[in-house]
Structure 1
Amino acid sequence: MRAAPVNTIESTVTTTVTDTIPTPVPSAAGDHRLSELDVLESEAIHIIREVVAEFERPVLLFSGGKDSVVVLHLAAKAFWPGKIPFSLLHVDTGHNFPEVLEFRDETVARHGVRLTVARVEDYLADGRLTERADGTRNPLQTLPLLDAIAAGRHDAVFGGARRDEDKARAKERILSLRDEFGQWDPRNQRPELWNLYNGRHTVGQHVRAFPISNWTELNVWRYIERENIELPPLYYAHEREVYRRDNMWRAVSPVSPAREDETVELRTVRYRTVGDMSCTGAVDSDAASVADVVREVGVSTITERGATRADDRISEAAMEDRKKEGYF
């Protein structure tokens, strides 16, 4: 397998820890019970520390989306006052929202970490990949991802996937083994009793690590609110030109133009997930703040992927099929 041509962004910006880690809020006098968020945070930090202690070259898959931002924030807390001891990796499909890419680079600079970007465009240019008929590039991320993992000799890859997102991700262990071809076998899952995680692997294999696997979307947003974590503006209500397709509001863009029979409207929407413009839909919303989003998510009955990701509607097993091939 040829290694992916990758581009590396080295941040020269340094910050103090107080710039990125909020001051803890003391609990009520005499109350020593941990809240649900405290328990989830403690578990996630424990997982991150265990992986860094056990593996040689971990990396965090970082897109600038809310879940990867939360994992990065947890990593900063896990190793405070030291620096985050691993780099970041992003597979850029070329269809990402510009606002998210800008936020990604600003966040990398603020934390003073190293970011490697593997680009789907490079694979399309030299013929290793071919554009899909539906124009969606999310499924094309697998090969660049596996090549970048091999090129970086990463034996552990952190991700922000959660079990409540999709049936396939609900099957995933917190430490999930990938074979020599980067593939996942849902029948070969290791037990994780008493929070003991088995990271054993052979040469060529690697492990995917999911520190917030047990969190829900509502947990994530409540944590963002508590920790005052900055996110891309797309997550909050804003006016955007959209059109209706697959029962979702799709953004008008060069990679996702409206068809002749689709009417373009200016609506107040927000994004629950910020994947590719070509397959990610927005939802009608007036949630302009984190508190508004927490209230909105609290009454939602559909996960963010189920509500706004067209690529997951291809089949009932769409996500699982991609994960078996090496997708995150």
Structure 2
Amino acid sequence: MSTTTFSSSERASSLRLASLAQEPRSDETKRPSQGALDVLEAEAIHIIREVVAEFERPVLLFSGGKDSVLVLHLAARAFAPGRVPFPVLHVDTGHNFPEVLAFRDETVERLGLTLEVARVQDYIDDGRLAERPDGTRNPLQTQPLLDAIADGRHDAVFGGARRDEDKARAKERIISLRDEFGQWDPRNQRPELWSLYNGRHLPGQHVRAFPISNWTELDVWSYIEREGIPLPPLYFAHERDVFRRDGMWRGVGEFSQPRAGEQVERRTVRYRTVGDMSCTGAVESDAADTASVVAEVARSTLTERGATRADDRISEAAMEDRKKNGYF
């Protein structure tokens, strides 16, 4: 009878997965245990270190949103007491929330990071892109992103995507190959067994790396609460002028104006995700601190994208179509 021998790293991976499976998992009434968060943290740090060790010019997509803030926090922890050994990249739609941009810049300065910015407005100004009839710029980010990756010769791009956000993201591997055109093929992906990741790629290709792919929104908020990670104030309850559209509360602003028949109201809201102002909705909430947000998320039955992102409602396969073309 033959005997299968496992390496120490494989045994450690199996033990981590077994530990995670045995921990009480989050549901609408119970937040993840500290042990479950420890396992998720260890997995994410392992992924970040593996990518930095294997690739020459990684970069982190950093918008100032909670998921990119979390990945940056994990990267800082992975290489402490040294600095984060790669730059951060933001694809600026020109319709971002000012509070988020201010937080982005403060974070970059505090951590001594190099910030690369690709601006959608530059592409509109010189005719490479045209404004959409609906005014939403999120779908216009793809070409500036791919150009920034090529210009920076980045062979690995960290992102804060999670599998629980959208069914297209649920299909994607932790280390996901992009071809020489930056495109993703959901039908042709590499197997990922245990914590073994395949980063091989040809010249012109690159990979997207998702260290928090296995986290849920509740995991993210529970970890943010535990670590005391600062976030933009939009994530917490505040009064704002809003109007109702497509079942969501849209904030009134320079790039988000009510149409005829849409009434502006003053309500207490917060944002679960902070993308383009013209397609991101708020939710009514009195959760003014992290603990209250954790309790609120635990009761939610919709992911943040499903509840508050109009760009994902363009079609049933909106996210997958954008990802195939090179989107985040």
Aligned residue for 2:172? 172
CA–CA distance in structure 2, aligned partners of residues 262 and 194 of structure 1:
51
CA–CA distance in structure 2, aligned partners of residues 302 and 238 of structure 1:
21
Alignment of 1:302-317 (within 5 A): 302-317=302-317
Aligned residue for 1:79? 79
Residue 188 of structure 1: CA displacement? 1.1
Aligned residue for 1:107? 107
Aligned residue for 2:51? 51
Aligned residue for 2:296? 296
Letter in 2 for 1:85: P
Aligned residue for 1:197? 197
User: What secondary structure is seen at the aligned counterpart in 2 of 1:35?
Assistant: helix
Is 1:90 the counterpart of 2:90? The answer is yes
Structure 1 segments (4+ residues) deviating >6 Å = none
Deviates more, 1:163-172 or 1:186-195: 186-195
User: What secondary structure is seen at the aligned counterpart in 2 of 1:259?
Assistant: coil
Aligned residue for 1:209? 209
CA–CA distance in structure 1, aligned partners of residues 268 and 82 of structure 2:
42
Alignment of 1:232-247 (within 5 A): 232-247=232-247
TM-score normalised according to structure 1 size: 0.90
Residue 173 of structure 1: CA displacement? 0.2
Aligned residue for 2:230? 230
CA–CA distance in structure 1, aligned partners of residues 255 and 64 of structure 2:
20
CA–CA distance in structure 2, aligned partners of residues 135 and 300 of structure 1:
29
Is 1:161 the counterpart of 2:148? The answer is no
TM-score normalised according to structure 2 size: 0.90
Residue 220 of structure 1: CA displacement? 0.1
Residue 104 of structure 1: CA displacement? 0.3
Q: Where in structure 1 are there 5+ consecutive unaligned residues?
A: 1-32
Is 1:66 the counterpart of 2:71? The answer is no
User: What secondary structure is seen at the aligned counterpart in 2 of 1:219?
Assistant: helix
CA–CA distance in structure 2, aligned partners of residues 281 and 194 of structure 1:
37
Q: How many residues align?
A: 296
Letter in 2 for 1:189: Q
CA–CA distance in structure 1, aligned partners of residues 34 and 215 of structure 2:
16
Is 1:121 the counterpart of 2:131? The answer is no
Aligned residue for 2:188? 188
CA–CA distance in structure 2, aligned partners of residues 289 and 204 of structure 1:
45
CA–CA distance in structure 2, aligned partners of residues 192 and 82 of structure 1:
30
CA–CA distance in structure 1, aligned partners of residues 236 and 311 of structure 2:
22
Residue 34 of structure 1: CA displacement? 6.9
Letter in 2 for 1:48: I
